[in-house]
Every structure is written in structure tokens, then in C-alpha cells.
């Protein structure tokens, strides 16, 4: 097993061993408001959302995790089945390995084979040339292409690629040539207002904020080297702040019809937090750590790539709770569809509000709207 | 005993077993201001308030608790005697059972029999047709009709009625036909500004905010199923925030004479918190958990529907302390009547103030007024 | 010994047994600003302040404590000697007892006998008729007359006088007839902006804010009855808030030359807090609890009215530290006289600032001034 | 060994024994913002900064520590080698001793001998006459002259010089006659906006804020006397607040080209905090406590002036981590040079923001800028 394949397993092991944080994802500072007089029928609450002609049963994306060695094929198979069974979107991990070595394609391709009608996203790094990116999309008959931005991880990783000069230019290229929606995503350090603006200027139409508060790739990489640097591990923009900054950038620069899409991710762990993210303006909620820990047992010692039936049950149970929580949140805010959440008051309080004040983002935008007008 | 009757007892048992919260009622963030030079005589401080031609000795309502099985008749008898002896208002629990089955009427009717001259409120759910609601009022010769809004409870309850589509329309009907004041109340998740506005638009003239921070019906229902969901149990608007939002809605929409009446309830536990609520603009303070725990002993093991003399003494002692605390608060703010409290400075600080700022409710409205002008 | 004399001893015993609080005095939220380039000579820093033709060596008042039974004569003698030796002001406890019974005069008169040239204040309750108040002043050849406002204490005390209707009118009378400065003081619950305004309107020219955070008379009276009521014991305006409100009332109503004088008291315990109070606008700092605990040992078991040499030494040590701290504060803010502190930036932060914002008192008034102009 | 020489050793011993604080340096309230799309090559990130024709490899100053007795010559030699080896600036401790007694010059001169091409600062007290200050500069062929302001230390020190009347005037003299840049520095109590203004008015062109939160000279002097005075030890302006006040004073009074230089120091302990200080506007970051504790072992018992190889290794390790952290911070904010940090958003939050609001310093100045324009 070469170092890259070993790294895949290390990432999973460390991700299972580490807790979320140390930064909070910020959703503790977000509150939805109870509607004592909802006008909905709970059984008729509709969680489904569209994606490019397909339909998800709810706005959940099992975010990019793995691929690139046969040792993780089983994991991807089980993630694919979970996604297929529940009608949610799913992404593969970085396909760089398969683009280099065609023998590794199966570990990704299983995602589509097990989930032929579902929404599946391809995943490449920002240095990937357009034709290679197309190859990644075709490999999966993908419904979208994720480009991950992970500079903090690259700097924390001993063997990281630390030359970021060509990322911007290459993303502009990918925008021009990608036949499916391009999703630019962080992996746990977040997108700022300034970065969001630049991405929109490059033509990007979908941003996954990938904020801090959940899976922590700086910590993962440092642990792999037997290190710990608290200040480095606290780097990044908490997800709720990053989401507010990104949504506000889109709102203030694209006030009219055709707005860019925002995906919320980074430490979101249940339907209660997801409902807050959707109310703040996300179209989809991406989660990697929670289903992964469900599937593989949570305790790193117990980790076995082939998994076990209990893991599948735990992951399914997690999704069932997630869906139920979302339904309850819709009903209790008087929303019959997911989009209604965006017209409900949403309070961004405490440290999050101070952050937004400093940045010139008006918290009143979320706090005072109502579905009435 | 059918499931509905069993539920009545379960509710009481769980209510006794659970602590208030986990949300705070928010009154820790409210402060009345000391007047070092009061111009009142403590013995002449007047706590009495009017209700539809009757007079309460103080602005306290023992809020809706029970009824519907002969097993709780004794509880209602003792609550009625407590209310009668002290000249405070009292409400029965939901009368749905008696409207379905006339044999269950006695468990409610005891409230009036034991308290012939007092202020007694009937209680129905928001799907109750107007003629049934009238029946509920007549059953008690009631001085008011409470309609409870409890969507969170319905969703937490396994057997809950989760179709809320007809609540609004039916409330408008009840407004038209109810011969006594209609009181729309939450049961522990609070009323927002938007909901208050809609209730006023439906013609409702009295709102009991029933905010979060006290008896927690989501927790009660989940415990009955052996469950616990922290995020769900933290749902709702803390009472102080809900009260401020509702009072402000009334103030800003009905600035002139004939204002709607607001009742404060949800986790209010003594006269000190009650004084704050009255100063914020409540006309009456509703409390269920505290007298119930006084009466039935607080420790769930000790619960016996027929109660005991110690419980009566504890409940009476609680009311005596409540009255004394109210008197002290009036005197130390230089108030000779309850209504004077509304002209005294009242500081809404900390997280409560942040909440109100976000919502566009000016805390200065309460903080800077004085009885001078 | 009659009940009133017994009460005097009880008060002292309970004051020694209880800690300050539970409210904080608020000075933790106040910060003076370091001047790295002071232009003063530390040895030439001048702490002295004038009082009606006399001069205090520093702006300290040992506030009203006792008198009225021969059992406390020794305490007053020692307080008087402490004041005389250090050139600070001192007040006697309420002289009501001596006005009723001339035989009790000696317990007060000792204050003047032991301190013939010092600044000594008489002390009466707000129902004292003008001619009786004059008698109190003459009894001590007093340099000022304190009138104490203590409604919370009266309400907490079983035997309290709870009719406050005549206080205002009588204070106006005292203003007219008192030949020495009249000082209206609270005893630990504070003066609000509204009360300060009314006192100024009554003609009062000196207010001692007596805020919450130190000696707690509600707690003292409740303990005497074996009771404890946390909400009651938390009543009152913290000293720093009360001081800011009162200073601002004077500033905004009397912007020109002849301003009323403000005394800061209530839980002030050392020269560091005193410096903050003086910078906020106090002319004098009153302290009762700290010297009393120094003198009588702090531990209630050890309390003996006749005291002991160690107590005198502890009290003197406390005063020495107090003076030194004041000198250091002056030097490190570049102040050569006490009055200079009022031209130094003083930051009212945290909960105190929120309080003042709510009340319309501009914290910038203190935070941005400098001695430059 | 005379008392002054003994004091030098005492200072070092106490500095090693004491922790930083008790005040926080305030940088916990400062956050740099992640740039997920940096356009830099990590290996090309340039940390070097100019100083008067020389070049530092990074903006670090090992701040003034010692000299004046042969017992510390070895310490200065090792500090000089550390500085030389790493290309950072270094300052000697106060040269007063050598100006009085030429035999003590060697303990300072070693700084230049071991570091012939480096940036070395001389150090005098603010009462030093111009010709003596010149002597101090010449003694070291110094690249700058530090004048330390330490009034709090002088007041805490039993034998302190407490007459500050001539400091201002003498600084104006030094400005006129000093051939190298004059750096006025505090030693741990900070520079306020008012003091910064006065320094600029005196012609000072370089201010080292020397704020609170790190080495605490009040605590050091009190411990030498076996004392502890918490309020005194909490005196001073936290470094982050002092830095913001000083930078803002320079910005608002010298908006155009030729701005005064600000050095950040006081409790800065690693490159993560240093990056924040540089982003806030510092040109150089001064640190004394951290390299000293590295060099001499941290545990006071182990202190030996001649040190040991482990100390050198620890100090070098600390510098290596410092440099790496700075590089990471530049890369992750998309900065290729140190100066770029000043165009990156920098959030001054929490208590620091409240401080600045009170003082009229707009936190938005730092929070909303971007490198785009
Ligand atoms: C083991 C593991 C491997 C991952 N590999 C990738 C990857 O190859 N590409 C990518 O874009 N994100 C990758 N991610 C990041 C996730 O997609 C997601 O952005 C991140 O985990 C934050 O979400 P979370 O807090 O819900 O886990 C990985 C996450 C985990 C846990
Ligand atoms: C055992 C129990 C049963 C209740 N049943 C009813 C009810 O039938 N109808 C109703 O409107 N509220 C009901 N309530 C809610 C109370 O009236 C009140 O709104 C709620 O308890 C919050 O107030 P508290 O925190 O003072 O208890 C019940 C409360 C308890 C404790
Ligand atoms: C034992 C004791 C007796 C007191 N008696 C009086 C009194 O008779 N009249 C009065 O105006 N204040 C009286 N006070 C109140 C003090 O003057 C002062 O206002 C109060 O103690 C708050 O200040 P402190 O926190 O520094 O103690 C008394 C205080 C104590 C401790
Ligand atoms: C042992 C010791 C001696 C010091 N001596 C001097 C000195 O002579 N002159 C001076 O300007 N600063 C002196 N300082 C202060 C430092 O230069 C610096 O301002 C202060 O330690 C705060 O920075 P820090 O928190 O990084 O240590 C000394 C510091 C230490 C630890």
C-alpha cells in the first residue's frame, strides 16, 4: 500500500478518533422562532428539494469522504446504499488517485453502481485540469462536481501541496468547461465574505461553506505526525458565521432572481442544526462526520473498512432522526416546504451576532422577516 | 381506565418529576429599580385587580392543569378551594374529555362548585367547534374561555393530533361566538410577535404567552415514551422574551385606549418574577407548576391524587409568600397599585436585550419610563 | 436591655457574620486607564479634600454604624479615634434612640469628644422633625446631617416602620432648616436616576448613593428572624450603577458651576475601588463594613464591643493600605490631586455599560475625556 | 554584589517563577480570517522586514531584558547569538548601571560583539540626559534607542524612583539629539490613546506599547518584598487594547504617508498572536518572557546564568515554531509579505471590542478591509 492509500485510512481513523471542534460550529447562537399557530398538517410537510431534474427526499448531502484504495470500496458501497435508500445526495472523496491510476476507479465507481438514480457528486482538487475534471465527472455520471479548497490541511500535512498560485485561474477554467454544476467547497475552515465574492466573480454558482466546528483536518494531519498545535487547530471560520457571510454576499450582490446556491456544512450533526442552516439560506446541508461515525462505529479501535450491520443500523437511525427533526422544525415554524424556512424569523445572537456586526452583515435581515407579506 | 385518562395522570406524574427548563424563563435578565424614596404606606398597597365585574385579590391565575377522570377530581377540588380561599383566578384542564363523555363533567365542575363566586376559566383545544366551546363555558359558568395552542406537545406526543390547518379559522369562529373573554394561551413554547399579530388580526383580545422555562410538555411527552431529545426540549420562546414581544405587538398596534390584555405565564415561580412580568405589561400572571408541586408534594413517588393536608399547607404557604413578595415589590418601586408597576423603569438586560434588539423591540420603552410626568 | 438596644448589637453581629453581596458592587466593570507618562512626583500627590472649611487628609468617610446603647460606646470611641488619627470623616449611627432618651446621648457624643476637630456627621431617619434633627446636629456639633433612606430594611424587619408617605415632605423641611449640609443616603439598595432627580428637586445638595454590593440590610434583618429570601436579598441597585446614574443626573441637570455633591458608598472595600468611584464623580467615599470588620475582628464569635488592640491595628492597617492605593492610583493616572481623577478616562464596561445604555446614560462621558483641553 | 546587581538577578528569577497575567493580553478576542483561496506559494512567503538599512528575517524583537552585572553577561551572550543566528532584533536591558560604572559595560557590549551585523537596541530610563543616552547608543553601536516608561514598576519597587516630573521634557530632548530611531516603550502596563498622542506631540516616531498580559513587573517587585496585591497586579492596559489605541492614534493623526511605527509587545507568546498584532498594525513584535523562559529553563530552581545547551535548544525551537506559525498565518490569509497582513480583515471581538467602542475607536477599521481595492 503506497503512502497515499495509507493516508486515506489514516484520515478515516483519525476522523473517528477525534471529537468535533475545538471551535464551535456557531449554531448554538442561532435560534428559530416557535409559531404557536402553525397552519400546516404535519403529515403533509414536504422535505423534498430539487437538484438538476432529480429530486432529493430531503436537503441532505452525505459529503465527500473517501475513495482511492480498495480498502475503502466497502465504505463507499455502504454510503451509496445509505444515500440510495434514503434519497439523499452523496459525494465521493477526492478522485485524484483514480485520475492518476485507473485501477483505483472502482473504489469511487461503486458510489454510482449502488445508487444508479441518486444524486452523486464527483470531487477533485483545485489544481485538476479541466479534462481531468471531466474524466472525474464521467467516471461517476456525476450530478455535480465538487472542487475542494483545503489550504489549511495542505499546510498541516507534512507532504502537502503548498503552492496555491494556480487555484483561482484553474477554477475559472473549470467553470467554463464543467457540464454539471460546479460546487466549490471548503473542508472545515470556512468561506469568508471576501472569498465568496471572489468565487462569484470567477463564475462559481454553488458554494459549500465547509466551516469550522466539525471534522478538523488540521488536527487530523497533526495527529498523524504525533503533533498538536492548539492555535492552528482553532484556525478557521465557524460554520454559522461562514454561512451568514456567504449568504449575505450572495444576497447583496445578486439581489434579483438567479442567485447562487449555498450549501451549509462543517460540524452540522442533526436536523435541528440543519433546520437553522436552511433557515439562514442554505439550499442543502452537507455532513460527513456524523454518518461516518454512525457507519464505522465511532470508536477508532472498532474500525473495520468492511463495517458491520450495526454500523448500517446506526447510520440509518441517525438519518431517521435527522428527517424527523427537520419535519418537526418545519411544522413548528409553520412551514410546509423547506423553502418556507427562509421566510421565518431566525435569530443570530451572541458571539455570532457580534461577528456579523463587525463585518457589516445585518442580523436583522434574518431576525425580522416573516412569511406574511 | 382508557388511554386518555391514563395520560392525565402521566402528565401530572411527569410534571412533578421534571425540573423547570432546560431553557431559562428569562426573568433573570429583568430588573426592577429600587425607589429609595417611595411615597406609599406598605399596609395600603393594593394588589387587587378587576376581571369582568369580579375582583381578584391579586393578579394571579392558577393555570389550566387537569380534569377528565375521576382520579383528578380531588386535585381540582383542592385547587378550587385554594383559589376561593385566596381570591385568585383558576382554570380547569382541557375539557375535551367531558365534551366527549358527559360522565366526566364532575371532574371539572367541582372547580365551580367549590368556588362559586370566584373567577374560573374553561379550557378547550383549538379544534373545538363553537357550540362545544359554549358547552365548556356553561359547564363551569366560566368567566373566560382558554383555548390552548400546544403544537410542540402534539408533535412530541406519540398519539398527538398533528393537523394544525384549522386552528386559525376556528379561533376566528370562537372569537365571534364566545360570550366570555377568549384567552388564547400557549402551554410552554411561547407566543412570538408574528403569532401575536395574527391573533390580534383574528380578533383575539387576550393572550396568555405561555413561554418556555417552566413546565416542559415536550419533555413530559418524551419521558412518557422513555425518550429524551435535548434539542427538542430546548425549543420555544423563553417567557420573558415572549412577553416582551407580545406586549410590544399590542403597544405598537393598539397604541390608544382599548388594548388587548396579556397574561404572563411559563415558569414563573414566585412574586418576585411575577412583579417583573406585571411591570413589563402583563395584566395577570399564570402559574401551574408551582402550586401543583406545592399541593402534590413535589416528589413524584409521594404523589397521591387525594393529596394530604401538608400539600394544602405547602400550596397556601407558597401563595402567602407570593402575595408578600408582590407587596414588597410594589412598595419598593413606589407603587400603590398593580397598574403603577407599568410606569416604573424595568431593565431588560443581557441575552433578553440582545433578543429584543434583533427583533426591533426597543428595550428603552421599559427602561426609561418613570411615573413622574 | 430593650428590643431597640438589642437590635443594635444584632445588626453588628450579623454584619460581621455576613459576606458582602450577593450582588456585586459593580466596580469590577470599571477600569481606570494607565498613564505611562505621568508628570507627577509621587511624594507630592495630594489626597486632601475640603469639607465646609475643614480639610480631610483623604476623601474617606467611615459611614454611619452605631450608637444608642452604652454597649456600643466603646465601638464609637474607637471609630472616632481612628477617624481623628487619620483625618477622615466619620458618621454616627441613627440618633433616634438619643432623641427619645437623653441618657443614650453619650454613646453618640463620644464621637465628637474623641475627635474634637474632625468632620463628624449626625444621622437621623427621614421621619425626624426638623427640631429633633437640629438636636441631633447639636448633640455632636456635627459638620453634616445624614438622613438615611432604608425602605427595604424597614420591609425586611419584623418591627419595621413601613409607612413612607411623609419622607419626601419631611426631607424638604429638613433642607430648609438644617444649618449644616444635609446628606441623604441609602444604606445598601442605591439611588436611581429618578430618585436622584426627586431629591435634587426637594433641594437636597448632597447624595450618598449607598448602593448594593456590600453590607446587606435585608439579609441582616432576615437572618435575625432565621430567614433567607435570595430574591429579596438581591434587591437593589449595584453601587457603580447607582453612582453613574446619580452623577449623570447631577451633570445633566446642573451642568454649570454649583453642582450637588455625590458620595459613593456600598461595598467599597479598598482604595482601588475608591479611586474608580472618585473618577466616576464621587467627592467622598463612604465605607462601613470594612473598618467595622477590621475593628471587631471579622469573625462574629470573636466580637466584643470593647474590642481589642489587634482590632485597632487591623483597622489602622486597612486605612494605611487604602491611602497608599489611592496615592498609587493618582500617580498612575497622572493625577496630582483627587479632583484630577475626574478628568481621566474611566471605562464603564460589561453589564454596567449595558445598564447605562438602557438607561440613556452615555458611558462615553467617562471613557473619552482627558485632562488635555 | 551591590543591591542593583542583586536586583537584576531577582528580576530574572521572579520573571521565571511567575506566570503571565493575571490580565489576559487580549489577543483571544482577535481573529484573523481564513482565506480559502489564497493565491500564494507557501515557500515564497516572505517574512523579512527592513530596519534602517538592515533587514530582519522576520518582524521579531527579543525585547530588553538584562545587563549591568557580570553575572548576566552569559545570558546576554546567548540572547545575542540567538538573535544573530536567526536574524531578529534584540535589545539590552537598562544601561543605567554601565553609564554609572564603566566596568559594567561588558555585560551589555557582548550583545554587539556576538551579533556584529544584527539590529541591536540600546536601553535607558526616561531621566537619562541626552549625552548619557548617546553614550549608551555608542556603547553598542546601536540601531535604535529604547526609552522605557515603567511608572507602575517604580511605584511597586521599594527603592523605586517615583518622581516622574521630568520624563516628558527629557524625552523631547532625546528626540532632538538621538542619532538613531528613538523607541519609547512601556514594560507591561501599556500605552493609552492619550499617552500615544502626547508621545507623538513630543516628536516620538516609534512606540512599543508594552501592554499588560505577560511579564508583570508589579508582581515581580511585590514578590521581591514577599507581597501580593491582586488589584495592583491587575493594573494596566491589555496589549491588544493598547495596540489598537496606539495604532488608531497614529492612523487618525497621521493619515498620510509618513506614519509613526508601532511595536507590539506584552505577553505575546507565539507566531499566532504575533500575526494578529502585525495585522492590527504593528511593524515589529517584541517578546521578552518567552525566549527568556526558553533559555533559562522556565523552572526558577533550575536557573543558572550560564545556562545550558538544552536552554539554547529550547529557545531555538521556540523561534522555529514562531517563524513557522507566522508563515502559516501569512499563507492562510493570502499574504505573501508581512505588510499584506494589514490589508486583511481582522476581527476585534468581545471585551476588546467593547473597550474600543467606549473609546471611540472603530473596530470596523480592521474588520472590513480587504486586499481587493
Ligand atoms: C475521512 C474524511 C475524508 C475526507 N476526504 C475529503 C475529500 O477527499 N474531499 C473533500 O472535498 N472533502 C473531504 N472530506 C471533508 C468533508 O467532505 C467535509 O467537508 C468535512 O468533513 C466537514 O464536514 P463534517 O464536519 O460534517 O465532517 C473528508 C472528511 C472526512 C471525515
Ligand atoms: C399536569 C399539567 C397538565 C396541564 N394540562 C393543561 C391543559 O389541559 N390545558 C392547558 O391549556 N394547559 C395545560 N397545562 C399547561 C399549563 O396551563 C401552563 O400553561 C404550563 O404548565 C406552563 O406554566 P408553568 O410553567 O407555570 O407550569 C398543564 C400543565 C400541567 C403541569
Ligand atoms: C452594623 C451597621 C449598622 C448601621 N447602622 C446605620 C444607621 O444607623 N444609619 C445609617 O444611615 N446607616 C447605617 N448603616 C449603613 C452604613 O452607613 C452603610 O450605608 C452601609 O453599611 C453600606 O456600606 P458598606 O457596604 O461599606 O458597609 C449601618 C451599617 C452597619 C454595618
Ligand atoms: C527579567 C526582565 C528584565 C527586564 N528588564 C528591562 C529593562 O531593563 N528595560 C526595559 O525596557 N524592559 C525590561 N524588561 C521588560 C521587557 O522588555 C518587556 O517590555 C516586558 O517583559 C513585556 O514583554 P513580555 O511579556 O514579552 O515579557 C525586562 C523584562 C524581564 C523579563
Residue B118 is part of a domain; what is its CATH number?
A: 3.20.20.70
How far does residue D367's CA lie from ligand 1's centre (Å)? 29
How far does residue A271's CA lie from ligand 2's centre (Å)? 28
Q: Which ligand is nearest to the CA of A20?
A: 1
Crossing angle for the helix pair B309-332 and B289-296, to the nearest 10 degrees: 140
Q: Rounded to an integer, what distance in angstroms lies between the CA atom of residue C19 and that of residue C216? A: 9
**Does residue D346 surpass a pLDDT of 90?**
yes
Q: CA dist D24 to D237, D298, D356, D366, Å?
A: 10, 20, 16, 21
Instruction: Read off the C-alpha cell for B40.
Output: 406609599
Domain assignment present for residue D38? The answer is: yes
Using CA atoms of C138, C139, C141, C142 in order, give the dihedral in degrees to the nearest 10. -90
Neighbouring-strand partners of residue C348: C30
**A162 shares contact with chain D (CB less than 8 Å):** yes
Q: Is A259 annotated as a binding residue?
A: no
Residue D256: pLDDT band (50, 70, 90) is confident
Tell if the CB–CB gap between C367 and D359 is shorter than 8 Å: yes
Mean pLDDT for chain D?
95
Residue B255: pLDDT band (50, 70, 90) is low
Q: Do C and A touch (≥3 CB pairs < 8 Å)? A: no
DSSP 8-state secondary structure symbol assigned to residue B19: P
The CB of C122 under 6 Å from ligand 3? The reply is: no
Q: What's the domain range around D144? A: 3-367
Measured by CA distance, the residue closest to atom 4 of ligand 3 is C65
Tally of CB atoms within 10 A around C300: 14
Tell if the CB–CB gap between C168 and B353 is shorter than 8 Å: no
- Per residue in C74-98, pLDDT (tens digit) is 999 999 999 999 999 999 999 999 9
Tell if the CB–CB gap between B358 and A367 is shorter than 8 Å: yes
Domain assignment present for residue D191? The answer is: yes
- Per residue in D62-86, pLDDT (tens digit) is 999 999 999 999 999 999 999 999 9
**C-alpha count within 13 angstroms, C-beta hemisphere, residue A75:** 28
Are the beta carbons of D266 and D319 closer than 8 angstroms?
Answer: no
DSSP SS3 for A126: coil
**Does residue A298 surpass a pLDDT of 60?**
no
Percent of chain A past pLDDT 70, that is, above it, reads 97
**Does residue B226 surpass a pLDDT of 60?**
yes
Q: Is C13 annotated as a binding residue?
A: no
Cis amide prior to A46 (ω within 30 degrees): no
Give the CA diameter of chain A. Answer: 61
Ligand 1 atom nearest A185 alpha carbon: 11
**What number of C-beta contacts closer than 8 Å exist between C and D?**
94
Domain assignment present for residue D372? The answer is: no
**Does residue A175 surpass a pLDDT of 50?**
yes
**C-alpha count within 13 angstroms, C-beta hemisphere, residue A358:** 29
Distance from CA of C232 to the nearest CA of B (A): 8
Domain assignment present for residue A372? The answer is: no
> Residues near C2 by Cβ (< 8 Å), separated by ≥ 6?
none
Residue B5: pLDDT band (50, 70, 90) is confident
Q: Which ligand is nearest to the CA of C274?
A: 3
Neighbouring-strand partners of residue A144: A121
Instruction: Read off the C-alpha cell for D155.
Output: 511605584
**B92 shares contact with chain A (CB less than 8 Å):** no
Where b means 16+ CB within 10 Å and e means fewer, B179-190 reads: eebbbbbbbbbb
**B35 shares contact with chain C (CB less than 8 Å):** yes
Tell if the CB–CB gap between C331 and D155 is shorter than 8 Å: yes
Going residue by residue through chain C (373 aa), what tens digit of pLDDT does each one get?
A: 688 888 999 999 999 999 999 999 999 999 999 999 999 999 999 999 999 899 999 999 999 999 999 999 999 999 999 999 999 999 999 999 999 999 999 999 999 999 999 999 999 999 999 999 999 999 999 999 999 999 999 999 988 999 999 999 999 999 999 999 999 999 999 999 999 999 999 999 999 999 999 999 999 999 999 999 999 999 999 999 999 999 999 999 876 778 999 999 999 999 999 999 999 999 999 999 999 999 997 555 657 777 678 999 999 999 999 999 999 999 999 999 999 999 999 999 999 999 999 999 999 999 999 765 3
- Per residue in A65-104, pLDDT (tens digit) is 999 999 999 999 999 999 999 999 999 999 999 999 999 9
- Per residue in B71-121, pLDDT (tens digit) is 999 999 999 999 999 999 999 999 999 999 999 999 999 999 999 999 999
Q: Is B246 annotated as a binding residue?
A: no
Q: Rounded to an integer, what distance in angstroms lies between the CA atom of residue B297 and that of residue C218? A: 30
How far does residue B65's CA lie from ligand 2's centre (Å)? 5
pTM to 2 decimal places: 0.97
Q: Rounded to an integer, what distance in angstroms lies between the CA atom of residue A43 and that of residue A56? A: 18
Q: Is C288 annotated as a binding residue?
A: yes
ipTM: 0.97
Residue B306: pLDDT band (50, 70, 90) is confident
Domain assignment present for residue A103? The answer is: yes
Chains touching B (at least 3 CB pairs under 8 A) are A, C
Domain assignment present for residue C104? The answer is: yes
How far does residue B231's CA lie from ligand 2's centre (Å)? 21
Neighbouring-strand partners of residue B32: B346
Displacement of CA D181 from its chain's centroid (Å): 15
Number of structural domains, chain D?
A: 1
Ligand 3 atom nearest C208 alpha carbon: 19
Measured by CA distance, the residue closest to atom 23 of ligand 4 is D266
Q: Rounded to an integer, what distance in angstroms lies between the CA atom of residue C236 and that of residue B17? A: 34
Q: Which helix H or strand E contains B56, and what residues bound it?
A: strand B54-56
> Residues near D336 by Cβ (< 8 Å), separated by ≥ 6?
D40, D44, D45, D46, D330
Tell if the CB–CB gap between D332 and A152 is shorter than 8 Å: yes
> Mean pLDDT across the stretch D20-36?
98
Tell if the CB–CB gap between D164 and C367 is shorter than 8 Å: no
Burial class (CB in 10 A: 0-12, 13-18, 19+), D99: buried
> Mean pLDDT across the stretch D264-281?
98
> Mean pLDDT across the stretch B289-297?
92
Ligand 2 atom nearest B67 alpha carbon: 8
Domain assignment present for residue B373? The answer is: no
Domain assignment present for residue C373? The answer is: no
**C39 shares contact with chain D (CB less than 8 Å):** yes
Where b means 16+ CB within 10 Å and e means fewer, A254-284 reads: eeeeeebbbbbbbbbbbbbbbbbbbbbbbbb
Question: Cell numbers 399579530 correspond to what residue?
Answer: B197
Contacts 24+ apart (CB under 8 A), B3-10: B3/B159, B4/B68, B4/B69, B4/B97, B5/B68, B5/B69, B5/B71, B5/B97, B7/B224, B8/B66, B8/B67, B8/B68, B8/B69, B8/B71, B8/B72, B8/B93, B9/B69, B9/B71, B9/B72, B9/B305, B10/B220, B10/B224
Report chain B residues whose CB lies below 8 A from the CB of A370: 194
Tell if the CB–CB gap between A34 and B360 is shorter than 8 Å: no
Amino acid at each position: 500500500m503506497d503512502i497515499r492509500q495509507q493516508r486515506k485510512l489514516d484520515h478515516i481513523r483519525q476522523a473517528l478518533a477525534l471529537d468535533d471542534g475545538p471551535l464551535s460550529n456557531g449554531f448554538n447562537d442561532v435560534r428559530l422562532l416557535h409559531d404557536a399557530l402553525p397552519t400546516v398538517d404535519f403529515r403533509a410537510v414536504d422535505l423534498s428539494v430539487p437538484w438538476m431534474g432529480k429530486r432529493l427526499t430531503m436537503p441532505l448531502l452525505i459529503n465527500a469522504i473517501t475513495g482511492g484504495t480498495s480498502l475503502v470500496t466497502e465504505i463507499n458501497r455502504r454510503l451509496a446504499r445509505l444515500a440510495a435508500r434514503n434519497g439523499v445526495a452523496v459525494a465521493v472523496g477526492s478522485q485524484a488517485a483514480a485520475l492518476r491510476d485507473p485501477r483505483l476507479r472502482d473504489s469511487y465507481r461503486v458510489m454510482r453502481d449502488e445508487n444508479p438514480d441518486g444524486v452523486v457528486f464527483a470531487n477533485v482538487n483545485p489544481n485538476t485540469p479541466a479534462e481531468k475534471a471531466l474524466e472525474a465527472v464521467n467516471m461517476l455520471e456525476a450530478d455535480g462536481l465538487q472542487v475542494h479548497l483545503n489550504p489549511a490541511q495542505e499546510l498541516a500535512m507534512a507532504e502537502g501541496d503548498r503552492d496555491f498560485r494556480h487555484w483561482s485561474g484553474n477554477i475559472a477554467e473549470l467553470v467554463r468547461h464543467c457540464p454539471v454544476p460546479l460546487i466549490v467547497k471548503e473542508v472545515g475552515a470556512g468561506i469568508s465574505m471576501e472569498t465568496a465574492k471572489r468565487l462569484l466573480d470567477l463564475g462559481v454558482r454553488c458554494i459549500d461553506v465547509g466551516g469550522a466546528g466539525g471534522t478538523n483536518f488540521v488536527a487530523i494531519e497533526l495527529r498523524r505526525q504525533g503533533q498538536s498545535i492548539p492555535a492552528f487547530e482553532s484556525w478557521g471560520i465557524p460554520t454559522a458565521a461562514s454561512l451568514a457571510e456567504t449568504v449575505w454576499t450572495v444576497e447583496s450582490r445578486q439581489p434579483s432572481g438567479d442567485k447562487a446556491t449555498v450549501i451549509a456544512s462543517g460540524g452540522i450533526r442533526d436536523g435541528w442544526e440543519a433546520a437553522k442552516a436552511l433557515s439562514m439560506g442554505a439550499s442543502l446541508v452537507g455532513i460527513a462526520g456524523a454518518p461516518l461515525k454512525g457507519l464505522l462505529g465511532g470508536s477508532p479501535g472498532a474500525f473495520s473498512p468492511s463495517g458491520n450491520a450495526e454500523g448500517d443500523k446506526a447510520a440509518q437511525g441517525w438519518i431517521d432522526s435527522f428527517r424527523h427533526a427537520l419535519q418537526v422544525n418545519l411544522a413548528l415554524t409553520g412551514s410546509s416546504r423547506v423553502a418556507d424556512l427562509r421566510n421565518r424569523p431566525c435569530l443570530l445572537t451572541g458571539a455570532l451576532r457580534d461577528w456579523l456586526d463587525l463585518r457589516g452583515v445585518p442580523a436583522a435581515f434574518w431576525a425580522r422577516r416573516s412569511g406574511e407579506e
